[in-house]
Amino acid sequence: MERRTVVIQSRLNQYVQWYIFLVMLLAVTFFVTSTRAFDYREALTKSLLYFEAQRSGRLPYNQRVSWRDHSGLTDGLEQGVDLVGGYYDAGDHVKFGLPMAFTVTMLSWGVIEYGEHIATAGEYEHALEAIKWGTDYFVKAHTSPNVLWAEVGDGDTDHYCWQRPEDMTTSRQAYKIDESRPGSDLAGETAAAMAAASIVFKTTNSHYSHLLLHHAQQLFEFGDKYRGKYDSSVEVVKSYYASVSGYMDELLWAALWLYKATDKEEYLEYAIDNAHSFGGIEWAITEFSWDVKYAGVQILASKLLMEGKHKEYDHILEQHKSKAEYYLCACLNRSDNNNVERTPGGLLYIRQWNNMQYASSAAFLLTVYSDYLQNANQKLHCPLGMVDAQEMLDLAKSQVHYILGSNPMSMSYLVGFGPRYPLRVHHRGASVVSYRENKGFIGCTQGYDNWFGRTDPNPNLLVGALVGGPDSNDNYRDERKDHMQSEACTYNTAPLVGIFAKLYMMGEYQNISQVSSLKSSY
């Protein structure tokens, strides 16, 4: 009898333990689900879809954004050059070289840092396709060592019309920079894009990688030898993408990317020798964008310092690191002056026009620098105290979460993600009936008459687009006419690709480690 009681008691204890384990497993599952409120993998997938919606040229057989069709098939014809392809920058149909190149640089940087995570999420090929659609165009646009086609289309005439890209009747005039009309900023950013992309393709397509590197080196030499701002040579761009910061930041940026791509000391020496005169160790700023690259330059240089391989340049690299920290501390509100503004809901706020571009690029720099600090076992030195890698990542996550819907409007600003997002994006192609559904020609002003002024949601969903976003008080108007808030740009979304992949993998590791630790206790 006693033996039977002991056996029953033992079994009861086992059942109780298993019951506790199941309850705790459910609790962990709930905890993981509640703390990881956003599906980063879905966000990653959708962010890459957006670039397919922005494609110009002849679309490939595997085009997934089905409401788009071929467009701009005669680009460059009048000038006797093939300029078919590339990306439309936003809701219009001009191909602006500077923001397009920055978009590709940021996509490539994201893959360089988080390529394995992107692959684990099943999106590596799509990420490479997004990069290659841009670099294929740059190869075409760089028709000789000292000639780069800077723009196709004209902003003024293009903005006069509201048409689908497939119906374009606006000017497709092409503009170039060359020896007599220099554009060191454009040449430098395109060189940076091609150098960064050459790193991405090095293991999967070595021939293409070499081709990109060849073009990058030529463009850098061209931009350095014939110096000047591209908006002085291509004046039609001044109202849209004027180079306010000049070209020195792009030359430093290109030199560091070429050093990363080639490991040739000459490029690092260039960046070191020109660090003072070009502003790399002089400019302390709180913006990183398609125009202003200094923070990116300073963060790349800081990584070189942390790696400890360039002792002879440490005195210059230390100054770069100081300026990088100025930018990061300002974002973290840990500076004693000139902190980056935040909305009441916590969004970093630089300016009212398309502010999301600054929030997404800041989130990327915060993310990569937190990795650099963690790998070097270091902390960020701010005037108002030390900051560890986790705090930096937490700020980056807060910006991503705001973008995905954790904000006072409870709206995702990434179109197509979550239950509520902008439905009236300022975008010609998305706001007019799809060409694939109705091939009837829609004229220049007909689009304004019949489609632009409608209050209905856009007939085509611009999935993955990051719109300009709310104002300084977190208010957003989902109106097509409000292009300050409702227009999306390629360089808004590009920095998010790498971050989404990083956060996705962090969530996966968290799930595994929590369940594993629970199992090990039994």
Q: Which residues are catalytic?
A: 426
- Rounded Cα distance, 493 and 106, in Å: 9
Q: How far apart are CA 247 and CA 44, in angstroms?
A: 32
Q: Identify which of 31, 14, 12 has the alpha carbon closest to the alpha carbon of residue 517.
A: 31
Q: At what angle do helices 314-331 and 294-307 cross, to 10 degrees?
A: 120
Q: How far is residue 143's CA from residue 38's CA, in Å, rounded to a whole number?
A: 45
In sequence order, which residues have a C-beta less than 8 Å from that of residue 342 and are 6 or more positions away?
Answer: 333, 348, 349
CA nearest neighbour of 465 among 46, 37, 18: 46
Token look-up 């333990």 returns 17
CA-wise closest residue to 51 among 120, 136, 112: 136
Measured CA to CA, the distance from residue 449 to residue 474 in angstroms comes to 31
Sequence-ordered strand ranges (E) for 346-499? 348-349, 380-382, 385-387
For residue 22, count other CB atoms closer than 10 A to its CB.
10
Please give the structure tokens belonging to residue 237: 């761009």
DSSP state of 286: S
Please name the residue that has the structure tokens 């799509």: 126
Sign of the CA dihedral running 178, 143, 214, 86 = positive
Residue environment code for 109-118, b if the CB has 16+ CB neighbours within 10 A, otherwise e: bbbbbbbebb
User: Are residues 131 and 106 in contact, defined by beta-carbon separation less than 8 angstroms?
Assistant: no
Three-state secondary structure call for residue 273: helix
Per-residue burial over 172-195, b if 16 or more Cβ lie within 10 Å, else e, is bebbbbbeebbbbbbbbbbbbbbb
On whether the CB atoms of residues 462 and 430 are closer than 8 A, the answer is yes
| Token code pair at residue 155 | 């902003």
Within 10 A of 10 (CB to CB), how many other CB atoms are there? Answer: 10
Yes or no: say if 484 and 353 are a contact pair by the CB < 8 Å rule: yes
Q: Is 385 helix (H, G, I), strand (E, B) or coil?
A: strand
CA 213/CA 257 separation, integer angstroms: 10
- Return the bridge partners of 174, or none: 152
**170: CB partners within 8 A, 6+ apart:** 93, 153, 154, 157, 158, 160, 161, 163, 444
